[in-house]
Amino acid sequence: MATLPKIMICGGPRWAHDEVDKLFDGIAKVIVDDAPNRPEFFARFQLGGPYEGTVGIYRRNVSAARIGIYDRELISGLPPSVKWIAHNGAGYDLVDVQACKEKGIHVSNTPGAVDEATATTALYLILSTLRHFSKAERSLHAGTWKAPISSGDTHDLSHRTLGILGLGGIGLCLAQLVHVFPMRVLYYSRRQRTDVPAWCEYVESVEELCARSDVLSIHVPLREETRNFVGERQIRAMKRGSIIVNTARGKVLDEEALIRALEDGHVRVVLCWRVMMTMPVPDVQLASVGLDVFPDEPRVNPRLLEFPQNVLLPHIGTRSQDTERKMEVRAMTNLRDFLLTGSGKDLVPELR
C-alpha cells in the first residue's frame, strides 16, 4: 500500500473539524503541530521525527503564540519536502512570501471567504462614524443619555460619496451594501474593472479619490509598496470634516498623519437659524476615523482614544462563526487541491 503524503495542521481549526476528515480522507496523513516553541518545531522535522516528510502546512495565526510568524527564519528552517503553505486568511503579511518563493514553496490565502464579514464591518464603521452610534452607546452606558450627541456633528449616508481604495471582493461587497442607501461610489484600483456595475465610478488616482470622497474606505493588502499608502498627502487631499475607515491592515495607513489630521484645525462659529444661537463646530481635516486594524496590534495608540467620535474595534472583521468556517475550509481545500493536482486556485499574486 502506498504511503500517503503528510500534511500538518499548524493552529487547529476552530469550527471545521469534520471537514478536515472529509477533505483528506484517503488522500493524506494529517498530523497536528503542537510544538511549544520554534526550536522544538524545527527539531521535529529531523530524520525520524514526527514531522519528517511533511509536504504541506495549513497555517492559522493562532500558531504564532508558540512558534512565531512565518518569517524568513522560520521559512528557511523548513525542510525541502514542504511545498505548500495554506494560510488561513485573506491578508498574508505574516508569511514571508519572498522567502517562500526563494525556497520553492507555494503560498495560498482565502480571498472571497472574508468578503461579507469584512464588508459589513466596514459598513458598521461608516454608519457609526457618520451617526456617532458608538459614542451614543457609550453615553447611555455612562448614564448621560444622549447629552454628548450633537446633530451638528452627525450625518446620514444617503447621497454622500464613498471612496473605495481597492475594489476587490471586499470592496465590491461594500459597494453593493452602501448603494442601497444610496451612497455614491467611487473607486481606485491598480486597473479599472469592467465587470462591476456602472454606478461604481473609477477615478484615475488615489489623490483624486480622496479629494472627491466624504468617506474613504481602505481595502488594499499590506505589501512593502503599500506601507503608509494613505499618508500625509492623501489625507490632506480630503475634504475637511471627512472620514477614513480602515479594515485592511494598520500599516497601510500612516497613523501619525492620521492623528495630526484629527488634531489640527480651529473652531469656527456658525449661526443655527432655528434657535438663533451660535454653535461651535470643529473645522478639522478629519471628523473621525473607523478602525478595525492597527499598526502594532494588539497595542492601540492611546492618542486615538482621545477622540470620542472615533470608532475603534479590536480587529474583529472576520470574527464570526460562519466566516471562520468558510476560511478554514477554503484554506484546507487549497491544500487538498495541491495534493491532487499540484496547484491551488488561491495562490497569492506574488507567486502566480
User: Catalytic residue positions?
Assistant: 249, 297, 315
CA distance 192 to 238: 22
Contact at 8 Å (CB) between 6 and 31? Answer: yes
Per-residue cell: 272? 443655527
Per-residue cell: 53? 516528510
CB atoms under 10 Å from CB of 74, counted, come to 18
Beta bridge partners of 57: 8, 85
CA distance 48 to 36: 19
User: SS3 string of the chain?
Assistant: CCCCCEEEEECCCCCCHHHHHHHHCCCCEEEECCCCCHHHHHHCCCCCCCCCCEEEEEECHHHHHHHCCECHHHHHHCCCCCCEEEECCCCCCCECHHHHHHHCCEEECCCCCCHHHHHHHHHHHHHHHHHCHHHHHHHHHCCCCCCCCCHHHCCCCCCCEEEEECCCHHHHHHHHHHCCCCCEEEEECCCCCCCCCCCEEECCCHHHHHHHCCEEEECCCCCHHHCCCECHHHHHCCCCCEEEEECCCHHHECHHHHHHHHHCCEEEEEEECCCCEEEEEEECCEEEEEECCCCCCCCCCHHHHHCCCCEECCCCCCCCHHHHHHHHHHHHHHHHHHHHHCCCCCECHHHC
**Residue in this structure with the C-alpha cell 468578503, named with its chain if needed:** 115
